[in-house]
């Protein structure tokens, strides 16, 4: 990886590692109550402290914002109400952290309590004290989709199951806590270093809220210590630090504590999935109806997108013609949920893949075979308008069946040991941008100077997923030079062109394609000059191993440096540009909410998990997960393996042990010690298998690799538990308590059944 | 605020500075000495990102009172490379995918370095046990193990043929 030396040496700089002279420490006062009107804030005592250089409240930035144009319902500091424990009330900038904390204690706030809503189903029934005035009954958004003919579909089914699934709330828990440094420049411009996945959206929002032209704000993304969606919208500290810097006329840095990270949240919501699926006698899915309720927390955030993904991505994995979806995003007095790896699809995929196993059992079919019988015939457009261009799912299934020893194991392992299979998929970026426009989703610029060093200027945000390396590799491949020759300047809004950010797995497909185009445009200029020198046409040239040569006589060649100098003699410094916009055909249907789900391409995944369950304690040991992922083309196999394994790991965390525990709006486990992401000891062997379906529109055939494998991990384990001990757990996480209770319930039912059979036999005698 | 003068031995350099008596080593490194390689990832000494070596033993700098370490040789991630030459685990990490976001990497570098110094040939289970003190949210640990095994192979090759690569 191009950035490894910076990481292993400790010399790379993340936001909190950057300090500048005169810098102040910013601290935020958070609400201790879940829902209340603010009657009064008195900060005079705090302002009286000599170390305090600025105090800010909601009065200092009254323009609301939000990641979606339809959801501008947040203020970085509360203007009238607080809506969750942890909501942001006031902030101070002081010369020391101790002084800033002392100042917070001196701010007096008077609250008038309102009814607080913690349960989404209760919140939907509320007649008063709605969390946002414009959102009656606390429903942020609801969507109702129906494709095909449900009634007819269910009438064709020989087996129908209807089950409620539940998934607890989980947090990204990226290792780097959020941090923002805002520098008020002498020329009254603002520079912001921030731990963000979306520098461009941050740039827009700061400009909007602080009412400064975008040209006077510069956002720089330093190294980012993981995101997983938690840094993919504007987080309050990213607005508060600039407000304080502007007021203090000095640089201000705010870094969240881990507890603040949990309360800033934007993670995966508590989700209720009422799922009904019909299967024909032949094992074909004949109809699917899903009702999804998401507990979104106190602000909109990405909410409508999250709930739409949970419906849209019922499609584009299996061949489904009759599909109904009812989705509700509900507001409650808890921290806002948002995008988290596998955005919107994960909890519904847990439900769906669990359900497929239940139906397979009813139909006496092998679970792998049921999945085979419902494959898409790609290329195709699904009933809900998603265009599938490449489809490696069949190969993924075959590869995990083979590698895991499925045929020898499924249903054949001793009681207490089991194996499960599940599939999943994900988008390679959204075909429709959050803010509708005709602008390309990404632009990459490239420059070569007389020293023949190549510089890529890209807005794409490296957050650990390999974005920088991927672009360097693409440019090196096209220009035929060593990667060491290439420098990359990334995600600095003064220097790099707009890219929409690192979310929804869009970077390889979109920034990769833009980089590919820029490199080809650059190569064309070099070839044009060399062709004149050689007396041929540019089409007859090739570039490889730091040299440009005549294709039909490779000995006729010049070194890349010299080729560049030839071109510079024509053009001056060489510059090139590439852009990417998804094709119109990939942008989806016309129904309300059709904008979410369409992607230029989808990744596919299949996984098996092998587990042991202790029938006395309900404790699960996962022995091995085999994960196959169709990434189109692995531009960097080490990175693809790392993304797939990392996705499975995060899925296993959600499956087995992660859960945000709430008590009346207060988080009971806001630390890594209590929230418990898996350590090495809880992480099983995970084997990654790369499947390459070569997408026709991806750069060199590549598509998504960083999220799609997460969702399959959870149902693969749930299905394995069912295979091991015959109980079906429909609630996440899959804790020993739930498993033990289900085992005991099953034993009770088995005893009753046996007793009934015995008494029947006696009766018959 | 009351401060006291302390002397620390950091990466082979003697540093003298005035700090509040309760200041933890991590804050001294990051704020007073500009050594920001050691990271703060949690509030409760559970993530391991701040690990440094104290006389060759990994400690968590976030809960170590700096003034208590005046008689100790402290090595931070910045001090691991010998004369600018990265250690085997530092080079292996980049090639085998040990780092993704890299935020936990300094802590892992310290933990792995100490492990391999103490035991150049740990079993898979020993590697797994030792690294359970450090959290990584990106990799799922498999490529971290792979990096350790690659570093072990390189160290073994070097000790077998001391003249070849050095």
| DSSP string for residues in B56-78 | TEEEEGGGSBGGGGTTSEEE-GG
Domain formed by B88-159, architecture:
Orthogonal Bundle (1.10)
Task: Output the pLDDT for position B166.
Answer: 44
A482 and A514 in a common domain: yes
Q: Does B1 touch chain A (CB under 8 A)?
A: yes
Task: Look up residue A409 and give its two tokens.
Answer: 């194991």
3-state class of A443 per DSSP?
strand
- Chain A residue at shortest CA distance from B134: A679
Domain boundary (A580, A597, A624) is at A580
Res. A426 pLDDT band, cuts 50 70 90:
very high
Inter-chain CB proximity A10 and B106 less than 8 Å: yes
Residues B49-78, mean pLDDT to the nearest whole number? 97
CA-based angle A523:A529:A534, to the nearest 5?
115
Please answer whether residues A314 and A325 qualify as being in contact, where contact means their C-beta atoms are separated by less than 8 angstroms: yes
Q: The domain spanning residue A674 has which CATH number?
A: 3.30.365.10
A644 and A717 in a common domain: yes
Which residues of chain A are within 8 Å of residue B102 when distances are taken between CB atoms?
A: 3, 6-8, 12, 223, 225, 464
Q: For the segment A188-243, what is each residue's pLDDT rounded down to a tens digit? A: 999 999 999 999 999 999 999 999 999 999 999 999 999 999 999 999 999 999 99
Residue in this structure with the two tokens 């849209």, named with its chain if needed: A312
Please answer whether residues A543 and A467 qualify as being in contact, where contact means their C-beta atoms are separated by less than 8 angstroms: no
Task: Output the pLDDT for position A764.
Answer: 64
Which residues of chain A are within 8 Å of residue B138 when distances are taken between CB atoms?
A: 175, 226, 464, 642, 646
Q: Which residues of A691-707 are buried (b: 16+ CB within 10 A; e: fewer)?
A: bbbebebbbbbbbbbbb
Decide if A160 is inside a domain: no
Res. B163 pLDDT band, cuts 50 70 90:
low
Task: Look up residue A328 and give its two tokens.
Answer: 């509700």
Task: Output the pLDDT for position A1.
Answer: 85
Provide the number of structural domains found in chain A. Answer: 3
Q: In Å, what is the CA distance from A419 to each residue of A121, A402, A407, A714, A719? A: 35, 13, 10, 13, 7
A452 and A427 in a common domain: no
- Nearest-Cα distance to chain A for B13, in Å, is 17
C-beta neighbour count of A606 within 10 angstroms? 31
- Nearest-Cα distance to chain B for A411, in Å, is 29
Domain boundary (A551, A580, A609) is at A580
Q: In Å, what is the CA distance from A738 to each residue of A653, A741, A742? A: 16, 5, 6
CA dist B84 and A227 (Å) reads 31
Decide if A633 is inside a domain: yes
Inter-chain CB proximity B140 and A683 less than 8 Å: yes
Residue in this structure with the two tokens 């969390």, named with its chain if needed: A131
Q: Which of B45, B61, B140, B144 to mutate against chain A (most A CBs within 10 Å)?
A: B140
Res. A20 pLDDT band, cuts 50 70 90:
very high
Please answer whether residues A224 and A464 qualify as being in contact, where contact means their C-beta atoms are separated by less than 8 angstroms: yes
Q: Which of residues B162 and B113 earns the better pLDDT score?
A: B113
Among candidate residues A155, A400, A384, the one with its CA nearest the CA of residue A287: A155
A407 and A519 in a common domain: no
CA dist A74 and B157 (Å) reads 59
A387 and A302 in a common domain: yes
A354 and A282 in a common domain: yes
Task: Output the pLDDT for position A765.
Answer: 60
A-contacting residues in B 119-138 (Cβ below 8 Å): 128-129, 131-132, 135-138
Decide if A120 is inside a domain: no
Q: For the segment A486-536, what is each residue's pLDDT rounded down to a tens digit? A: 999 999 999 999 999 999 999 999 999 999 999 999 999 999 999 999 999
Q: Which of A98, A680, A686 to mutate against chain B (most B CBs within 10 Å)?
A: A680
A495 and A387 in a common domain: no
Res. B164 pLDDT band, cuts 50 70 90:
low
The β-bridge partners of A296 are none
Q: What backbone torsions phi and psi does residue A356 show, to the nearest 5 degrees? A: -60, -40
Inter-chain CB proximity A677 and B142 less than 8 Å: no
Res. A570 pLDDT band, cuts 50 70 90:
confident
A482 and A576 in a common domain: yes
A and B: number of Cβ contacts within 8 A: 172
| Mean pLDDT over each residue of chain A, to the nearest integer | 97
A207 and A80 in a common domain: yes
pLDDT of A723 above 70: yes
Task: Output the pLDDT for position B117.
Answer: 95
Task: Look up residue B149 and give its two tokens.
Answer: 């095994």
Q: Under CATH, domain B4-77 is a member of which superfamily?
A: Beta-grasp domain (3.10.20.30)
Task: Output the pLDDT for position A571.
Answer: 85
For A363-404, where are the alpha helices, taking DSSP H only? 367-372, 393-404
Cis peptide before A379 (omega within 30 of 0): yes
Residues A49-74, mean pLDDT to the nearest whole number? 97
A631 and A545 in a common domain: no
Task: Output the pLDDT for position A511.
Answer: 98
pLDDT of A762 above 90: no
C-beta neighbour count of B43 within 10 angstroms? 18
- Chain A residue at shortest CA distance from B77: A10
Find the domain containing A466 and state its range. Answer: 442-580
Task: Look up residue B122 and give its two tokens.
Answer: 């740990």
Decide if A563 is inside a domain: yes
Q: Which residues of B20-33 are buried (b: 16+ CB within 10 A; e: fewer)?
A: eeebbbbbbbbeeb
Provide the residue ranges of all domains of chain B, joining segments of one domain with +: 4-77, 88-159
Q: What percent of chain A has pLDDT over 70?
A: 100
Residue in this structure with the two tokens 């809900």, named with its chain if needed: A384
Res. A84 pLDDT band, cuts 50 70 90:
very high
A594 and A490 in a common domain: no
A-contacting residues in B 28-47 (Cβ below 8 Å): 30-31, 34-44, 46-47
For A113-122, B67-76, B153-162, which range has the lowest pLDDT when averaged over its residues? B153-162
Decide if A630 is inside a domain: yes
3-state class of B29 per DSSP?
helix
Inter-chain CB proximity A1 and B78 less than 8 Å: no
Decide if A624 is inside a domain: yes
- Nearest-Cα distance to chain A for B93, in Å, is 7
Q: For the segment B137-152, what is each residue's pLDDT rounded down to a tens digit? A: 999 999 999 999 999 9
Decide if A134 is inside a domain: no
Q: For the segment A671-717, what is each residue's pLDDT rounded down to a tens digit? A: 999 999 999 999 999 999 999 999 999 999 999 999 999 999 999 99
pLDDT of B165 above 70: no
- Positive or negative: CA dihedral A262, A264, A270, A271: negative
Q: The domain spanning residue A48 has which CATH number?
A: 3.90.1170.50
- Nearest-Cα distance to chain B for A197, in Å, is 12
Q: In Å, what is the CA distance from A287 to each residue of A109, A146, A150, A362? A: 54, 11, 6, 16
The β-bridge partners of A91 are A28, A56
What does DSSP assign to residue B85?
A: B
For the whole model, what pTM was predicted?
0.97
A306 and A254 in a common domain: no
| Mean pLDDT over each residue of chain B, to the nearest integer | 95
Out of A4, A10, A465, whose CB is closest to B94? A4
Task: Look up residue A286 and give its two tokens.
Answer: 């004949």
pLDDT of A544 above 80: yes
Res. A760 pLDDT band, cuts 50 70 90:
confident
């Amino acid at each position: 990886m191009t950035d490894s030396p910076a990481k292993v040496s400790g010399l790379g700089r993340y936001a909190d590692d950057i300090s500048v002279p005169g810098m102040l420490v910013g601290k935020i006062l958070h609400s201790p109550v879940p829902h209340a009107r603010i009657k009064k804030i008195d900060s005079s005592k705090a302002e009286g402290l000599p170390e305090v250089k600025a105090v800010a409240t909601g009065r200092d930035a009254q323009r609301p914002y939000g990641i979606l144009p339809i959801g501008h319902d947040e203020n970085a500091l509360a203007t009238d109400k607080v809506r969750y424990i942890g909501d942001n009330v006031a902030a101070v900038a002081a010369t020391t952290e101790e002084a800033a904390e002392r100042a917070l204690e001196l701010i007096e706030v008077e609250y008038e309590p309102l009814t607080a809503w913690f349960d989404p189903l209760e919140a939907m029934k509320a007649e008063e004290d709605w969390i946002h005035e414009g959102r009656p009954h606390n429903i942020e958004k609801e969507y109702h989709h129906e494709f095909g003919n449900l009634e007819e579909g269910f009438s064709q089914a020989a087996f129908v199951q209807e089950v409620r699934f539940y998934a607890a709330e989980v947090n990204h828990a990226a290792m780097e806590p959020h941090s923002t440094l805002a520098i008020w420049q002498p020329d009254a411009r603002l520079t912001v270093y921030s731990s963000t996945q979306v520098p461009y959206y941050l740039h827009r929002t700061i400009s909007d809220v602080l009412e400064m032209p975008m040209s006077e704000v510069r956002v720089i993304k330093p190294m980012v210590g993981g995101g997983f969606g938690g840094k993919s919208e504007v987080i309050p500290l990213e607005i508060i630090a600039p407000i304080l810097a502007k007021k203090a006329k000095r640089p201000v840095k705010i870094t969240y504590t881990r507890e603040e990270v949990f309360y800033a949240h934007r993670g995966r919501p508590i989700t209720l999935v009422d799922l009904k699926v019909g299967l024909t006698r032949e094992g074909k899915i004949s109809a699917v109806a899903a009702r999804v309720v998401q507990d979104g927390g106190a602000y909109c955030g990405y909410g409508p997108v999250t709930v739409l993904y949970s419906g849209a991505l019922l499609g584009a994995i299996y061949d489904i013609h009759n599909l109904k979806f009812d989705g509700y995003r509900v507001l409650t007095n808890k921290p806002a949920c948002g995008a988290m790896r596998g955005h919107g699809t994960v909890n519904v995929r847990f439900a769906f893949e669990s359900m497929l196993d239940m139906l397979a059992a009813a139909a006496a079919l092998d679970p792998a075979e049921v999945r085979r019988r419902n494959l898409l015939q790609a290329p195709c457009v699904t009933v809900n308008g998603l265009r599938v261009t490449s489809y490696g799912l069949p190969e993924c299934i075959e590869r995990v069946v083979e590698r895991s020893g499925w045929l020898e194991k499924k249903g054949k392992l001793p009681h207490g040991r089991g194996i499960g299979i599940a599939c999943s998929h994900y988008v390679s970026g959204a075909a429709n941008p959050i803010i509708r426009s005709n602008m390309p989703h990404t632009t990459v610029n490239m420059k070569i100077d007389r020293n023949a060093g190549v510089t890529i200027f890209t807005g794409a945000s490296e957050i650990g997923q390999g974005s920088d390396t991927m672009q360097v590799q693409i440019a090196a491949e096209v220009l035929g030079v060593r990667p060491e020759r290439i420098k990359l300047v990334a995600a600095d809004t003064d220097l790099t062109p707009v890219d929409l950010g690192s979310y929804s797995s869009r970077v390889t497909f979109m920034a990769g394609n833009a980089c590919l185009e820029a490199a080809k445009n650059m190569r064309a200029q070099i070839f044009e000059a060399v062709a004149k020198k050689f007396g041929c046409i540019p089409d007859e040239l090739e570039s490889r191993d730091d040299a440009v040569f005549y294709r039909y006589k490779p000995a006729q060649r010049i070194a890349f440096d010299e080729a560049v100098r030839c071109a510079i003699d024509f053009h001056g410094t060489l510059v090139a540009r590439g852009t990417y916009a998804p094709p119109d055909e990939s942008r989806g249907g016309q129904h309300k909410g059709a904008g979410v789900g369409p992607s230029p391409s989808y990744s596919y995944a299949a996984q098996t998990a092998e587990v042991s369950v202790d029938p006395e304690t309900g404790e699960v040991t996962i022995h091995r997960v085999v994960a196959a992922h169709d990434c189109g083309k692995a531009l960097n196999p080490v990175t693809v393996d790392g993304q797939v394994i990392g996705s499975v790991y995060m899925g296993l965390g959600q499956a087995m042990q992660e859960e945000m525990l709430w008590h009346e709006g207060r988080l009971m486990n806001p630390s890594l010690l209590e929230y418990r992401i898996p350590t090495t000891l809880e992480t099983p062997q995970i084997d990654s298998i790369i499947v390459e379906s070569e997408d026709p529109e991806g750069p060199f055939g590549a598509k998504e690799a960083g999220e799609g494998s997460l969702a399959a991990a959870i149902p693969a384990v749930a299905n394995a538990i069912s295979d091991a001990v015959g109980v079906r757990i429909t609630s996440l996480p899959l804790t020993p308590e739930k498993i033990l209770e289900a085992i005991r319930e099953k034993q009770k039912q088995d005893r009753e059944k046996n007793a009934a059979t015995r008494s029947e036999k006696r009766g018959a005698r | 605020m009351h401060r006291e003068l302390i002397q620390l031995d950091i990466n082979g350099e003697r540093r003298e500075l005035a700090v509040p008596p309760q200041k933890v080593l991590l804050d001294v490194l990051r704020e007073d000495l500009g050594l920001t390689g050691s990271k703060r990832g949690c509030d409760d000494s559970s993530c391991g990102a701040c690990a440094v070596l104290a006389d060759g033993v990994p400690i968590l700098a976030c809960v170590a009172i700096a003034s208590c370490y005046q008689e100790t040789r402290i090595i931070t991630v910045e001090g691991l490379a010998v004369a600018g030459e990265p250690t085997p685990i530092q080079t292996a990490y980049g090639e085998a995918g040990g780092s993704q976001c890299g935020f936990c990497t300094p802590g892992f570098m310290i933990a792995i370095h100490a492990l391999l110094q103490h035991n150049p040939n740990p079993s898979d289970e020993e590697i797994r046990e030792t690294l359970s003190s450090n959290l990584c949210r990106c990799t799922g640990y498999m490529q971290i193990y792979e990096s350790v095994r690659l570093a072990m192979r390189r160290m073994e090759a070097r000790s077998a043929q001391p003249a070849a690569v050095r």
